[in-house]
Amino acid sequence: MADLDKTDILIGIASYNNAKTIDHVVRAVDAGLAKYFSDKKAVIINSDGSSKDGTQDIVKTAALDHAAMFLTYPVYPAHRISMPYNGIPGKGSAFKLIFQKAVEMQADACCVIDADLRSITPEWIELLLSPIIKGGFDFAAPLYSRHKYDGTITNSIVYPMTRALYGQRVRQPIGGDFGFSGRLAEFYLKQDVWETHVARFGIDIWMTTEAIANGFKVCQTFLGAKIHDPKDPGSDLSDMLVQVVVTLFNLTERHYQKWKEIKDSKEVPTCGFRYHVGLEPVKVNIGKMLDIFRTGISNLKPLWTEIMGQGDFGEIEKIGGLSDREFRFPAGLWTGVVYDYAIAYHKKMMSSEHLIKSLTPLYLGRAASFMMEVEEMEHHKVEEEIEKVCLEFENQKDYLINNWR
């Protein structure tokens, strides 16, 4: 264990019942380290939420035949440590343990990888760590090719709002796989957020926003396609939305003095060779999404009127009356709704959980509208549509600032 006191690179894999995929992830990480960072000391930390399916055993035994893969053997073969984390069960708590280990081992560069990935290759390790080791960046956010129906919270709320507030175009702020420097890990660890939604799905937006808002050098790195195991069916959409959006709004509160001064947005440096890959088709049930949206209109009128005012609610009612085929939820109206929710959260109109859960039908309405709009579009056209949403968020930012007090 003596040679584990210090490391150059630390790779964190947060897992919970990922026996099906973690062998592939660990071997890809191992190969990536051997291929691109064979002269550096590296440790793979598996931070596990007490899996019941033998995930931890697989991490320890996953084997890579270096002789078959490489002409030269790595100078320092990567150590593997698998340990359960403490605290609130969730991805954020798993990451906290990874940050602790990164600080203890004085790692220069770190990255975190989801344990359910099926599309990870050894190149991901190089793409996430090189910007930190060679490029002098503190934070590397992922950039993926994703199906146009995937990542709807990212496309409709998190990316447009983060970009409008903090002025940096990080396309996947809640991608899940990040590279970061040792000093950023130390910064993360010092923050007192581990009893909040950050300990769960809020961790991704928190890491990205804190890196941007605190002036760390940020870039994004193109990783290719993101294909992963289906999400845990028990993880309810509303819960996920609450954890992400509450964290986003908390950060909006925290960094008000910074974001109120920022106008427009700019590209962040992008590493990696960008290309578009064929993606697995995604089935969606637009009828059900619209049904929930309309159920919201007929049942949540007093609550929504209180949050967004009679004017915007009138618009929502109007589009709710359209047929499925004609249904469109304009980006401008959606932007107003999200900002009204941010203001309502700031003014503590009601419990945060109720507030954000009441956003779910509106979010589903907007997501359904977006899916119908882009149904026939190619990838680059879809990105243009997302760009329009982002510009709406930037253009209406004054409304948020003026109503914040």
Closer by beta carbon to another protein, 200 or else 255: 200
State the Cα–Cα distance between residues 12 and 304, nearest whole angstrom.
Answer: 41
The candidate with the shortest Cα–Cα distance to 112, out of 180, 174, 26, is 180
Q: Measured from the CB of residue 228, what is the shortest distance to another protein in angstroms?
A: 8
Chain contacts with another protein (rule: CB under 8 A): 146, 149-154, 174, 176, 201, 204, 228, 230-231, 233, 235, 237-238, 240-241, 244, 282-285, 288, 291-292, 295-296, 298-300, 303, 347-351, 354, 357-358, 360-361
For residues 194 and 201, which CB has a smaller minimum distance to another protein in the complex? 201
Instruction: Kindly tell me which of 215 and 233 has the beta carbon lying closer to another protein.
Output: 233
Residue 264 region, left (φ>0) first, then alpha (ψ -120 to 50), else beta? left
Minimum distance between the CB of residue 75 and another protein, rounded to whole angstroms? 38
Determine the distance from the C-alpha atom of residue 327 to the mean position of all C-alpha atoms in its chain, rounded to a whole number: 29
To another protein, the closest distance from the beta carbon of 251 in angstroms equals 16
State the minimum distance, in angstroms, from the CB of residue 33 to another protein. 27
Give the nearer residue to another protein in terms of CB position, either 257 or 285.
Answer: 285
Looking at the Cβ atoms of 268 and 362, the one nearer to another protein is 362
* Residue number with CB closer to another protein (224 or 361): 361
Rounded to whole angstroms, the Cα distance separating 231 from 343 reads 31
C-beta of 154: minimal distance to another protein in Å? 6
Judged by CB, which is closer to another protein: 215, or 287?
A: 287
Q: How far is the CB of 296 from another protein (least distance, A)?
A: 5
Pick the closer one to another protein by CB: 6 or 118.
118
Distance in Å, CB of 241 to another protein, minimum: 7
Nearer to another protein, 12 or 151 (CB): 151
Spatial CB neighbours of 30, under 8 Å, sequence gap ≥ 6: 44, 62, 64, 78
State in angstroms the smallest separation of the CB of 287 from another protein: 10
Residues 57 and 49: their CA atoms lie apart, in Å, by 13
CB closer to another protein, 12 vs 365: 365
Smallest separation, CB 114 to another protein (Å): 10
Burial 96-117, CB ≥16 within 10 A → b, else e: bbbbbbbbebebbbbbbbbbbb
The least CB distance from residue 353 to another protein, in Å, is 8
Min CB(67)–another protein separation in Å = 37
Nearer Cβ to another protein, position 371 or 401?
371
**Residue with tokens 């894999």, as numbered in its chain:** 13
